[in-house]
Amino acid sequence: MPYRCEAQTLEGFVQQLATSYLPHGYVFFVRGRVPDGKSPVEVDRKLLARYGVERSKWARARRKVAGLANVQYIRYGRDFVLLATPGAHQFFQTEAESIRDARRTPIRMRGYALSVRGGHAHVRIDEDTYRSLRGYLFSIATHRSAAHLAAEFYALPFEPYAPVRRQLLNLLRLVNKRRKAAGYSVLSHTVLHLRRRIVKPFGLEVSPPDVRQEAA
C-alpha cells in the first residue's frame, strides 16, 4: 500500500501525531509549510524520497535494531511535519538547524500544542490560544445569556484529549465563577465535548466517541 501522508482533517492530523508517531519514539521534528505556488503533492514526493520514508514496518524494525533512525511525514493542507526517531540518518544533517525535540518544544498546529512527556503524547490547547479564549470568555461571562455562552463552549474546535479536557473545564469554571458572583445562572458541563472522536486520519470517516485510554 502506498505511504499515506495527507491528513484530510485537522483532527486526523493531530490524532496521527498523538497516537501513531510521538508515543512510538518519533520525538525529533521539523515543522514546515509548502510555499505558495508549489504543489503539495510534489513536495510530498520529494521529501518521501529524500528521507526514505516509505519503508515497511519490518524494515523500520531492522533499522531500529541497527541503531538507525526512521522518519515519518504528515501534511495537512500546506502545513507538514517531518519526524524522526533517535539514531543515524541523513535527516539530522540536512535539517540540523531546524530540528526540534518534542520532549522540550511542542509541535504547534492551529491552536494545538503536541509534546511528549514521560514517553506519552501530551495534547493541549496552545498557551497563546488558551489565554485568548480565557480572556474572551471571561469578558462576556456576564454580558451574554446562558444559551449564548453554551453555544460558544459547544463550538470550541478542540478534540478533548485529557489535557484539553482539563483546560476546557477550567474555562467553564472561570465563567461560572464570574456568573455566580454576579447572580446569574451557571452552565452545566454538558456544554462541553468531553469525549474524543476517533477519525481515520487519511479519510473522512468518523467513529463514535472513544472511551479507551487517551493521550495524557
Spatial separation of the C-alpha atoms in residues 147 and 62, rounded to whole Å: 57
Spatial separation of the C-alpha atoms in residues 76 and 79, rounded to whole Å: 5
Question: Judging by DSSP bridges, how do beta strands 112-117 and 100-101 pair with one another?
Answer: unpaired
What was the pLDDT predicted at 154?
95
What was the pLDDT predicted at 93?
97
Mean pLDDT for 165-180 is 98
Question: Is residue 89 within 8 Å of 69, Cβ to Cβ?
Answer: yes
Mean pLDDT of the chain: 94
Mean pLDDT for 71-87 is 98
For the stretch 110-143, pLDDT in tens is 999 999 999 999 999 999 999 999 999 999 999 9
Q: Model confidence at 2, in pLDDT bands (50, 70, 90)?
A: confident
Q: Is the pLDDT of residue 205 over 80?
A: no
Q: Is the pLDDT of residue 207 over 70?
A: no
What was the pLDDT predicted at 216?
61
For the stretch 36-60, pLDDT in tens is 999 999 999 999 999 999 999 999 9
What was the pLDDT predicted at 208?
45
What was the pLDDT predicted at 215?
61
pTM metric for this prediction: 0.90
Give the Cα-Cα-Cα angle 11, 16, 19 (nearest 5 degrees). Answer: 110
**Of 15-24, 158-167, 204-213, minimum mean pLDDT range:** 204-213
Q: Is the pLDDT of residue 103 over 80?
A: yes
Spatial separation of the C-alpha atoms in residues 216 and 201, rounded to whole Å: 20
For the stretch 174-203, pLDDT in tens is 999 999 999 999 999 999 999 999 999 998
What was the pLDDT predicted at 204?
57
